[in-house]
């Protein structure tokens, strides 16, 4: 059984209205990374499962499925939201940006063709296993658009809602600052400020140990 969720235009935005009986599927159309996509899904389908299972966009990761970890964060009409806490049917007619939509390597494979946030993660070694990375990158993309000049404290605040079990966060904080720099000047040189941050902290610890011994 298939029901059509009507899309009506209001204030230029398409919105989903109608009724979908329990267990039935309806056609849910969403603009994902600039492309019109649609799939037949039950109304209990979360946006995260819709993206991964129905559209095959597995760049959005799913960790906790109850809003705590942030791995599933996507941009809904440009604003970061947990895609595990939005039903696909509610997102019908809206614009979604996933990690895949932030940037893709060009044919030459030049890493500089990636988006500022993607380049910054590469520059600052801001990922290890990569599970949390899509959620951080979508969050930071919107974060530096809103605040193009974050302080280190503001960078910490920006990513405070996302969990990472590997990195210890410091390199991700660096990546926020580096991404802000690259967004303003794509040719900004990679300075010691980012690459030597952890080395410097490490040798300072060793000095302290040495002094104590």
Ligand X SMILES: Cc1cc2nc3c(=O)[nH]c(=O)nc-3n(C[C@H](O)[C@H](O)[C@H](O)COP(=O)(O)OP(=O)(O)OC[C@H]3O[C@@H](n4cnc5c(N)ncnc54)[C@H](O)[C@@H]3O)c2cc1C
User: Which residues form the interface with another protein (CB under 8 A)?
Assistant: 5, 8, 10, 15-23, 42-44, 46, 49, 65-67, 70, 73, 76, 79-82, 84-87, 89-90, 139, 158, 160-161
- Does the protein bind ligand X through residue 68 (CB under 6 A)? yes
Q: Which is nearer to ligand FES, 14 or 161 (CB)?
A: 161
Residue with the two structure tokens 């809103």: 146
User: Could you tell me the smallest distance in angstroms from the CB atom of residue 162 to ligand FES?
Assistant: 9
The answer to whether 177 and 155 have CB atoms below 8 angstroms apart is: yes
Distance CA 160, CA 178 (A): 17
User: Could you tell me the smallest distance in angstroms from the CB atom of residue 166 to ligand FES?
Assistant: 3
- Does the protein bind ligand X through residue 67 (CB under 6 A)? yes
Nearest to 102 by CA among 155, 34, 188: 34
Contact mark string toward ligand FES, 92..131, x via CB under 6 A? -----------------------------------xxxxx
Nearest to 59 by CA among 67, 70, 69, 71: 71
Distance CA 113, CA 191 (A): 20
DSSP H/E element including 26:
strand 25-32
88 binds, among ligand X, another protein, ligand FES, none (CB under 5 to 8 A by kind): none
165 binds, among ligand X, ligand FES, another protein, none (CB under 5 to 8 A by kind): ligand FES
DSSP H/E element including 212:
helix 197-212
Contact positions with ligand X (CB under 6 A) in 12-31: none
- Does the protein bind ligand FES through residue 134 (CB under 6 A)? no
Q: Which two tokens stand for residue 151?
A: 């302080």
Q: What radius of gyration, in Å, describes the C-alpha atoms of the chain?
A: 20
Interface residues with ligand X (CB under 6 A)? 67-68
């Amino acid at each position: 059984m298939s029901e059509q969720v009507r899309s009506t235009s209001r204030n230029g935005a398409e919105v989903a209205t109608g009724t979908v009986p329990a267990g039935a599927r309806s056609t849910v159309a969403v603009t994902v990374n600039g492309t019109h996509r649609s799939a037949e899904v039950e109304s209990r389908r979360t946006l995260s499962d819709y993206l991964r299972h129905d559209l095959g966009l597995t760049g959005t990761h799913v960790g906790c499925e109850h809003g705590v970890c942030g791995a599933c964060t996507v941009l809904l009409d440009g604003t970061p939201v947990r895609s595990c806490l939005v039903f696909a049917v509610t997102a019908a007619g809206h614009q979604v940006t996933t990690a895949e939509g932030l940037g893709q390597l060009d044919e030459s494979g030049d890493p500089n063709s990636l988006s500022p946030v993607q380049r910054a993660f590469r520059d600052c070694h801001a990922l290890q296993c990569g599970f949390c990375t899509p959620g951080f990158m979508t969050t930071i993309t919107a974060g530096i658009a809103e605040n193009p000049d974050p302080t280190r404290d503001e960078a910490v605040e920006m990513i405070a809602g996302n969990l990472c079990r590997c990195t210890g966060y410091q390199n991700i904080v660096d990546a926020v600052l580096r991404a802000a720099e690259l967004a303003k000047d794509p040719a900004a040189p990679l300075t010691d400020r980012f690459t030597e941050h952890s080395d410097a902290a490490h040798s300072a610890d060793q000095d302290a140990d040495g002094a104590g011994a």
